Amino acid sequence: MSRSSANQTPTRPRPTRAPSSDYRGPVDREWISLGDHRKRNTAILAIVAIILTIFIGRLIELQGFRGSALASEATGQRLKEIALPAARGAITDAAGNPLAVTVQAYNVTADQTLIADPVAAAAAMAPILSVDPAALAARLSGTRRFVYVAKNITPENWQRIADLQLPGILKEGTSKRVYPDGSLAANIVGFVGADGKGLGGLELGLQKELAGTDGTQTYERGQGGRAIPTAQHTKVEAVAGSTVKLTIDRDIQYVAQQAIAEQVAAAHAQSGTVVVMDPHTGKILALATAPTFDPNDFSKARSSDMGNRALSDVYEPGSTAKTMTMAAVIDQGGANPTSAFTIPGTLKRGDKVFHDDVAHGTWHLTLAGILAKSSNLGTILASERIGSRTFNSYIRKFGMGAPTGLNFPGESDGVLPAYKDWSQTTFPTLVFGQGMNVNTVQAASVYATIANDGVRVTPSIIDSVTAADGTVTPGTTPEETVVVSAKTAKTVRSMLEMVVSKDGTAPKARIPGYRVAGKTGTAQVAVNGGYGRDVVASFIGMAPADKPELVVAVTIVKPRVGRWGGQLAAPVFKEGMMSALKTRHVPPTGTVAPQIPLKFGKNG
C-alpha cells in the first residue's frame, strides 16, 4: 500500500487551488518553493512514505521470509544442549558385592597459552599423576588452547590438582568403569573399551541391559552458564542401566582362582579352569580360569586370557566321560556295580586296536573297578551291553554337543558327531570320552546331574537383573530333564567314591571328614588327526557323596610338569571344594562310604 502511494505521489492530481500558484513566475518554480506549506507537506509525506516503505519492506523480509530462520539462529546462540549420559549398571556377585561399578572420573586438560611456566606446573602435577615431569612439561608448552594432560583420574586426585591453583589447567567430567576386585571373576564379568561399551564377557553379553538410555537436556544459557528460568527448557531424563547380579560367590571364586593359578604355574600348563556348581539349582558359584587378566588395565593382557576358557575352550573329556557310560549301562540294567568283567590287554573294534593307559595282562574287574581304575577297555565292554543307539540318547540327554544355556559371548557348544555319521570305531571311542569335544561347564553339568539324583538342571550364571526403576527380572528359568533314575544316580555316586579311595586314581581329592565322589580324566589332545604327548588333566567330583551339595570340575590343559588328572587336578578340586563347603556351610554327613569290590576272582 505504501509502496504504491509513494509511486503515485508525483502524479497525484493537484488540489483545486494549485493552478493559482502557477501565476508566481520563474522564482516560484524553484525547488525552494517549500515555503508553500502544501508543497512542504507533500514533500514530507513523500519522504516519510519512502522511509516507511523501506522499514516495512525490511520488516516483512525479516519477519515474513527469514523470520523463523533468524529466530532459531538467535536462540541457537543461547541454547545449549547437553547429553545426560546414562549411568552404566553394576555387576555384583550373589551377595551383592560389586564386581564392576561405574564411578565419576576426570580428564585433566590444559590451555597451553595460559601456562606461563610449564616446567613448574609439570613439576607440581607430575607426582599426583605419576608421570615423568619432563614429558608433562613438554605437553604443557605450546600455543594450543586444548590438550589432554591426563585421562580418567580419580576425583581425589583432581582435587589435589585443583588445590595447586595452576592457571590453564582444567577438568572435564567423565566416568570410569572400575573393577574393585581386579582380576577376581574378570573372565566372567569381562571388560569395557575406552568408550565405556562392553568388549568382553558379560559386559559385552549384557551390553543392552547394562548401558541404559542416554538422556538430553536443552536450555537457554544466561550469564555464567546458568539456565534462563523463563526460557525454553526441555529435559529427557537418562535411564540408568540395570544392575546385574551373578550367581558367583566372590569368596569361592577367589579361592578357586588362586588354586588354579598356582597349579597352572606349578605344572607349567597352558591354562586351567575351575567350575563350582550347585547341582540342585544349576547355579554356577565360581568359574575360574588361569591365566587371567586385570580388567582395570588390560593393555598388556593377552586376548586369549581375556575370554572365558571354561566355556570357550573345548577338549576331549577323556575318562571323566566314563561316568556317563556307567550311568547309562546301570540305568538300562546292563550291569550293576559288582558285575564281573574280564578285560584283555588289547581290544580290536572296527579297524582299530584299543589299549588302556597302562599296558596290562588280563584284568578281572567289577564295573566299579573299571571306573576306579579308569579302564578304557572295560568301559567298551560294559557299553556294548546297551548298544550305541541307547548310549547316544543318554549322552545327548546329559547335554553333550548342546549349548550350556548360559549364552556367554564366545561360548562353544562342543562337538558330538551326529549318530548317523558314527563309524564302527566311533562308539567304542566315545564311551571313554575321546572323539567328542566339551567345555568344562558341560563336563561339570554331567556330574551335577548325577549329584542331583539324575535330574539335569541347565547351568545359569545370572541370578537377576534389576532395572533402574527397581523391577527385578530373574535370570533364565532353569530347565530340568530327567536323565537317569535317582537309584542309578545313587549307585554311580557310590562307584565314584571308590575312585577317591586309596585304590582309585584320585586319593588326593579326599577331604578328611567328608565323603567325596569324583572321577579323574587324562585325555590326549588331538593333533593333526592323531594324538600327541599333550594331555588335558581333569578331575570332576562332588561332596558330600551321599547327599551332594556341590560339584567342582577342574581342567588343566597341556601340563609340562606332571600329567595325570589325579595328580594335577585333584588337589585343585580339593582346595575349591573345601572353600565351597566352608562358604556354603555344608557340614559332613558323618556316614561311612560303602566299600564295593573292585576286583573279583583269584586276584580280587
Partner 1 sequence: MSANARKLVEPINESTATEYATQGAKVRKLSRPDLKLVSQLRPEKASRGVFALLVGGLLGAGLVVMLLINTSLASGAFVVSELQTQKSALTVEAQALSKEVDAMSSPANLEAKARALGMKPSKNPVFLNLGDGSILGKPNGANVSPNAPLPRLATPADLTAVEAVDNSAVTSDFPTTVGPNYDPAAADAAAAGAATAEDSAWGEIVDVTDTPKAARAGKSGKASQPGKKAKIAKSDSGLTATPIG
Sites of contact with partner 1 (CB under 8 A): 97-98, 101, 103-104, 153-157, 176, 178-184, 226-230, 250-252, 254-255, 257-258, 260-262, 290, 292, 294, 296, 511-514, 578-579, 581-583, 585-588, 590
User: Residue 462 in 3-state DSSP?
Assistant: strand
CB of 243 to partner 1, least distance (A): 14
- Hunting for cell 577323556 — which residue is that? 318
Nearest residue (CB) to partner 1, 370 versus 506: 506
Exposure on the CB side of residue 276, measured as CA atoms within 13 A: 33
Q: Are 430 and 386 in contact (CB under 8 A)?
A: no
CB of 277 to partner 1, least distance (A): 18
Burial of 10 (0-12, 13-18, 19+ CB in 10 A): exposed
- 319 annotated active-site: yes
Q: Are 467 and 473 in contact (CB under 8 A)?
A: yes
Work out the number of other CB atoms within 10 angstroms of the CB of residue 207.
17
CB of 95 to partner 1, least distance (A): 10
CB of 66 to partner 1, least distance (A): 30
- What's the rounded Cα separation, in Å, for the pair 420 and 32? 119
Measured in degrees and rounded to the nearest 5, phi and psi for residue 440 equal: -65, -35
Nearest residue (CB) to partner 1, 109 versus 589: 589
Nearest residue (CB) to partner 1, 209 versus 251: 251
Nearest residue (CB) to partner 1, 28 versus 237: 237
CB of 497 to partner 1, least distance (A): 17
* Cell numbers for 413: 557348544
With CA atoms as reference, report the closest residue to 561 among 269, 315, 290, 260: 269
CB of 546 to partner 1, least distance (A): 14
Cα 127 off chain centre by: 35
- What's the rounded Cα separation, in Å, for the pair 535 and 356? 15
- What's the rounded Cα separation, in Å, for the pair 414 and 472? 33
CB of 127 to partner 1, least distance (A): 11
CB of 253 to partner 1, least distance (A): 8
Element (H, E) at 521: strand 517-527
CB of 153 to partner 1, least distance (A): 7
- What's the rounded Cα separation, in Å, for the pair 373 and 564? 13
**Strand pairing class (91-92; 243-246):** parallel
Nearest residue (CB) to partner 1, 164 versus 231: 231
Q: Are 536 and 558 in contact (CB under 8 A)?
A: yes
Cα 105 off chain centre by: 22
CB of 226 to partner 1, least distance (A): 5
Q: What angle do CA 549, 551, 553 make, to 5 degrees?
A: 170
- What's the rounded Cα separation, in Å, for the pair 601 and 364? 7
Residues in the chain: 604
Nearest residue (CB) to partner 1, 101 versus 120: 101
Q: Are 253 and 288 in contact (CB under 8 A)?
A: yes
Point out which residues pair with 229 in neighbouring strands. none
Nearest residue (CB) to partner 1, 322 versus 574: 574
User: Residue 89 is which amino acid?
Assistant: G
- What's the rounded Cα separation, in Å, for the pair 306 and 119? 40
Nearest residue (CB) to partner 1, 101 versus 119: 101
CB of 207 to partner 1, least distance (A): 22
Point out which residues pair with 175 in neighbouring strands. 104
Q: Are 458 and 335 in contact (CB under 8 A)?
A: no
Nearest residue (CB) to partner 1, 128 versus 455: 128
| Residue 568 CB contacts under 8 Å (≥ 6 apart), including other chains | 263, 267, 269, 537, 556, 559, 562
Q: Are 261 and 273 in contact (CB under 8 A)?
A: no
With CA atoms as reference, report the closest residue to 144 among 108, 111, 101: 111
DSSP 3-state percent helix, strand, coil across the chain (nearest 5): 40, 25, 35
Measured in degrees and rounded to the nearest 5, phi and psi for residue 227 equal: -70, 140
Nearest residue (CB) to partner 1, 166 versus 185: 185
* Terminal C-alpha separation, the chain: 125
Q: Which one of the listed residues 319, 339, 374, 383 is annotated catalytic?
A: 319
Nearest residue (CB) to partner 1, 226 versus 302: 226
Give the residue numbers annotated as catalytic, written as ranges.
Answer: 319
